[in-house]
Structure 1
Amino acid sequence: MNPHQDHPTGPVAMFLSFWHNRQLIWQMTRREIVGRYRGSIIGLAWSFLNPILMLFIYTFVFSVVFKARWGISGEESKADFAIILFVGMIVHGLFAECINRAPGLIISNVNYVKKVVFPLEILPWVALGSALFYSLVSVTVLLLAQLIINQTFPWTSLLLPLVLLPLVFASIGFAWFLAALGVYVRDIGQVTGIFTTILMFLSPVFYPVSALPKPYRDWLNLNPLTLIIEESRKVLIFGSVPDWPSLCIALLAGLTIAATGFWWFQKTRKGFADVL
């Protein structure tokens, strides 16, 4: 294989690459999930314990120490606050997992670049698949908590995949862009961790959008995670259908980001072998 050859860069090629390599993506994603906990005593159970532990910590800090309330009703309990908070953590966690891992995807798989005929563009899909698995685990924990506390959960929970679809495309687009950029600029890996931490506090994860003054609220709505978090809470907590027009616009934006990221990755991958 010539590492300097041109690769298809169009949106159609992006979907065809996923379809043609779907089995490889599945196998690598599965291997990564299993490998993360290989050798530990309780294995995959950590994927359930980690989100639960972080949920308890954040809930204690914000609802007990800072006396924070969401304001959904006069009888709001700490459990209600925890469930609402958890939704924001799940959405942010999905995005942050992809972004934080992206800069090291090519650097940590040098053999795929130099020695093997391998579709490098699937590596961000593998990272996204892993992040989606952990998000699914967290959503399962959330629905079980709702079932225990409220004895029910809304049917609109089935709409969550549609709500997350714009975020999925935007995440894979950013992952392609950062994976390629991380080969040439190694500092990107340090910047992304800081960025996603800041983004967590600039998103309505720990507070509702309505809690901010109007001028700040307008700025918060520019954050792409705001819409996804708010719509996820609608379908998972409040039993409302999402704002379809806004989600369609977000989906178009996500597809644009994905196509742009794929184009950038395919254009710059010719230099990976020389740098690595």
Structure 2
Amino acid sequence: MSEANARAGMFSSPWRHRELLVSMIQREVIGRYRGSILGLLWSFLNPLFMLLVYTFVFSMMFKLRWPQGSGSRTEFALLVFAGLLVFNVLSECMVRAPGLILSNANYVKKVQFPLEILPWVVLGSVLFHTLASLLIWLVFHLVFFGLPPLTGLLLPLVMLPLILFSLGISWLLASLGVYLRDVGQVVGVLTTSLMFVSAIFYPASAFPPAYQGLLHLNPLILIVEQTRDVLFWDVVPDPITWFCGLLASGAVAWLGFTWFQKTRKGFADVL
């Protein structure tokens, strides 16, 4: 596949198969809670319970405070929760990706089925639950602190590099998971480790100066910090920094998609 086709295919394929994509995302979201009494309500209850847990553990048991914040327990919990909104998008895509083709092996032998949209299906489901979590965050912020700053409207732009990066990693891991079954185990360890080095439970400034450069090699750091900037501190992300992050994430997405398309021919033989 040529570079031009790869770049176009990343977005033209989900557009061409948009009806199928929407249908599969709906099935993915609904299927997650199939058989439960509360159904989709769990999409809102789960983040609510987790927010209450974070509030209790980090602000009451550990008595932690955010350096530039007001020091309230609820604010600390909301700051942590905002970081987790970002982390959960990437981590769930990463964890699901290695088994994505394996769990949909019946589609592999269907010549006309667009396997490349499967990471889009996972991403769509993840973003639905992220939106539900964001609504819970917004309700708590409204109750305790009032309206968030207007910069919060920039959140979709802040998340765009994360979306591209998650797609690229998903295509890469989905392909590797077919040929190397241990990838899923490795990814599980990596995502757990990633949570503790992504400034989720602390500001990036808390790291010693000697490690700041190394810390920012983690692509999540910048997005987590920008998310807190727009949701809490009324700070507009630096356009140049954001654009550089977008270009880097776009490159990861293109590389992941190209790799997936080049290796998909062997999926049927392995499965």
Which residue of 1 is the match for residue 13 of structure 2? 17
SS at match of 2:254: helix
- String of CA shifts for 1:176-201, please: whole Å, max 9, x gaps: 00000000001111111111110000
The amino acid of 2:37's aligned partner reads I
Shift of residue 230, structure 1, vs aligned partner: 0.4
- Partner of residue 61 from structure 2, selected from 61, 65, 86: 65
What's the offset of the Cα at 1:155?
A: 1.5
Structural mapping, 1:215-234, within 5 Å: 215-234=210-229
Q: Output one character per residue of 1:194-235: Cα deviation in whole Å (capped at 9) or x when no partner.
A: 111100000110001111210122221111000000000111
Name the structure 1 match of 2:75.
Answer: 80
| Greater CA drift, 21-30 or 259-268 | 21-30
Given candidates 123, 140, 145, the residue that maps to 1:145 is 140
Superposition CA RMSD, Å = 1.5
Q: Which amino acid aligns with 1:257?
A: V
Between 95-104 and 13-22, the greater mean CA deviation after superposition: 13-22
Q: Does 1:130 align with 2:125?
A: yes
Q: Which runs of 4+ in 1 moved over 6 A?
A: none
Q: Show the counterpart of 1:187.
A: 182
What is aligned with 2:38?
42
The alignment partner of 1:240 has SS state of coil
Say if 2:269 is the partner of 1:274: yes
Tell me the CA shift for residue 58 of structure 1. 2.8
Segment of structure 1 superposing worse, 191-200 or 214-223:
214-223
How much does 1:239 deviate? 1.8
| Aligned length, in residue pairs | 270
- Please list, as runs of the form range in 1=range in 2, the aligned pairs for 1:66-215 lying within 5 A after superposition: 66-73=62-69, 75-115=70-110, 117-215=112-210
Comparing both chains, which one has the higher relative contact order based on Cα–Cα distances under 8 Å and sequence gaps of 6 or more? 1
Give the TM-score taking structure 1 as reference length: 0.94
Asked if structure 1 preserves the Cα contact closer than 8 Å seen for 2:14 and 2:117, the reply is: yes
**Unpaired runs of 5+ in structure 2?**
none
The C-alpha deviation readout for 1:77-108, integer Å capped at 9, x for no partner, is: 10010111110011000110100000011000
Report if aligned partners of 1:231, 1:243 keep a CA contact under 8 Å in 2: no
Q: Equivalent residue of 1:23, what SS? A: helix
Post-superposition offset of 1:151: 2.1
Q: Distance in 2 between matches of 1:104 and 1:7?
A: 27
Letter in 2 for 1:84: L
Distance 2:178 2:184 in 1: 10
Does the 8 A contact of 2:58 with 2:77 survive in 1? no
Take 1:271 and 1:43, find their aligned partners in 2: how far apart are those partners?
38
Structure 2 length normalisation: TM-score?
0.96
Question: For residue 3 of structure 1, what is the aligned residue in structure 2?
Answer: none
In the alignment, the residues of structure 1 paired with residue 47 and residue 238 of structure 2 have an alpha-carbon distance, to the nearest angstrom, of 28
CA distance in 2: counterparts of 1:31 and 1:119, whole angstroms: 17
